[in-house]
């Protein structure tokens, strides 16, 4: 009886130890590391598989050739998440696409014609898509800018990001005596000087109410603060219709320019992502 009790206690202790070890392994699993916007990489081999998930058994979405350039979104352990190439096959349920546009929000874009295939992106209501083939219950489309897949990190060489432009120096930041300044000290910025830098900002997109007296037709606003919203920046874009993003929480990528005489900066939009 004592021997049976000892074995029972030993088994219980082993179960507790294994559970603790599993918890520690989960907590040590590396989290995805976002990379700077516009990070690019070069494919090092031919026939490199792009998969729907960061797993060697996940569905193959596309293949890359040696020398192909890819946009890298994030780094997760042994995998890189990239924007899908144009030859990737993407599908959406035909009932959610009409006249080349999404009819609802948060529509799954899948890597195959069926709900058993993994999703590789989403569509916002009104977002335009390029239809490749419409057949039966599923419509094949060209991958959008939000569609992503995964490749093994050792098969891609990531280019070093360009250093950010130096921040402008103002006279208020100079604390050393005048005698220690360089022979040709920097002059204060003139009123017409324009500062430009690459930014990634999030907020809520709205159409400008008084567009005739504004530098752009759209603006990026903060969330409600005390029943009021504050402008982050005006949005300058070649896309004529941004109504599908109206009132949505978005992330904006692009070059921001700001003139000392102007109250708000203007972002020349390079890309807009929905924040779900």
In a domain, 102, yes or no: yes
Instruction: Indicate if 131 and 213 belong to the same structural domain.
Output: no
Query: What's the rounded Cα separation, in Å, for the pair 151 and 64?
Result: 10
* Mode of pairing for the β-strands spanning 107-110 and 138-141: unpaired
Instruction: Indicate if 216 and 153 belong to the same structural domain.
Output: no
Q: Helix, strand or coil for residue 86?
A: coil
Residue 73: band (very low, low, confident or very high) from pLDDT cuts 50, 70, 90: confident
In a domain, 174, yes or no: no
Instruction: Indicate if 150 and 196 belong to the same structural domain.
Output: no
Instruction: Indicate if 209 and 142 belong to the same structural domain.
Output: no
Measured CA distances, 270 to 54, 84, 95, 238, 276 (Å): 27, 17, 30, 9, 20
Instruction: Indicate if 153 and 196 belong to the same structural domain.
Output: no
Instruction: Indicate if 152 and 51 belong to the same structural domain.
Output: yes
Q: Is the pLDDT of residue 64 over 70?
A: yes
Instruction: Indicate if 212 and 153 belong to the same structural domain.
Output: no
Instruction: Indicate if 150 and 63 belong to the same structural domain.
Output: yes
Domain of residue 77 covers 33-158
pLDDT in tens, 13-22: 555 455 444 4
Q: Which of 143, 158, 173 is the last residue of a domain?
A: 158
Residue 260: band (very low, low, confident or very high) from pLDDT cuts 50, 70, 90: confident
Q: Is the pLDDT of residue 118 over 50?
A: yes
pLDDT at 161: 59
Average pLDDT of the residues in 208-231: 86
Residue 31: band (very low, low, confident or very high) from pLDDT cuts 50, 70, 90: low
In a domain, 12, yes or no: no
- Return the CATH number at 267: 2.40.50
Cβ atoms 99, 174 nearer than 8 A: no
pLDDT at 34: 63
In a domain, 23, yes or no: no
Instruction: Indicate if 202 and 151 belong to the same structural domain.
Output: no
Q: Which of 101, 136, 158 is the last residue of a domain?
A: 158
State the total domains in the chain. Answer: 2
64: β partners: 48
Q: Is the pLDDT of residue 214 over 50?
A: yes
Residue 183: band (very low, low, confident or very high) from pLDDT cuts 50, 70, 90: low
The larger pLDDT score, comparing residue 166 to residue 175, is at 166
Instruction: Indicate if 154 and 196 belong to the same structural domain.
Output: no
Helix (H), strand (E), coil (C) string for 27-55: HCCCCCEECCCCCEEEECCCCEEEECCCC
In a domain, 45, yes or no: yes
Angle made by CA atoms 126, 130, 136, in degrees to the nearest 5: 90
Q: pTM for this structure?
A: 0.49
Q: Helix, strand or coil for residue 218?
A: strand
In a domain, 25, yes or no: no
pLDDT at 210: 83
In a domain, 173, yes or no: no
Q: Which of 158, 183, 208 is the last residue of a domain?
A: 158
In a domain, 134, yes or no: yes
């Amino acid at each position: 009886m004592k021997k049976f009790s000892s074995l029972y206690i030993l088994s219980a202790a082993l179960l507790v130890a294994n559970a603790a070890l599993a918890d520690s392994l989960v907590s040590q699993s590396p989290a995805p590391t976002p990379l700077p916007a516009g990070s690019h990489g070069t494919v090092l081999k031919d026939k490199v598989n792009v998969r729907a998930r960061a797993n060697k058994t996940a569905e193959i979405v596309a293949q890359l050739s040696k020398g192909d350039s890819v946009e890298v979104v994030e780094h997760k352990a042994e995998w890189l998440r990239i924007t899908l190439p144009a030859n990737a096959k993407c599908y959406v349920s035909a009932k959610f696409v009409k006249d080349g546009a999404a009819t609802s929000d948060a529509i799954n874009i899948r890597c195959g014609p069926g709900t058993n295939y993994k999703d590789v992106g989403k569509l916002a209501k009104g977002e335009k898509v390029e239809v490749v083939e419409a057949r039966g219950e599923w419509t094949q489309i060209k991958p959008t800018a939000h569609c992503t897949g995964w490749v093994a990190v050792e098969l891609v060489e990531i280019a070093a990001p360009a250093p950010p432009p130096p921040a402008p120096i103002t006279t208020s930041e100079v604390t050393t005596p005048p005698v220690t300044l360089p022979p040709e000290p920097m002059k204060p910025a003139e009123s017409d000087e324009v500062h430009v830098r690459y930014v990634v900002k999030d907020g809520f997109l709205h159409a400008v109410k008084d567009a005739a007296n504004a530098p752009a037709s759209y603006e990026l606003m903060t969330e409600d603060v005390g029943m009021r919203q504050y402008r982050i920046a005006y949005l300058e874009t070649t896309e004529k219709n941004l109504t599908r993003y109206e009132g949505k929480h978005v992330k904006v990528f692009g070059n921001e320019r700001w003139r000392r005489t102007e109250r708000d900066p203007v972002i020349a939009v390079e890309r807009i992502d929905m924040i779900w």
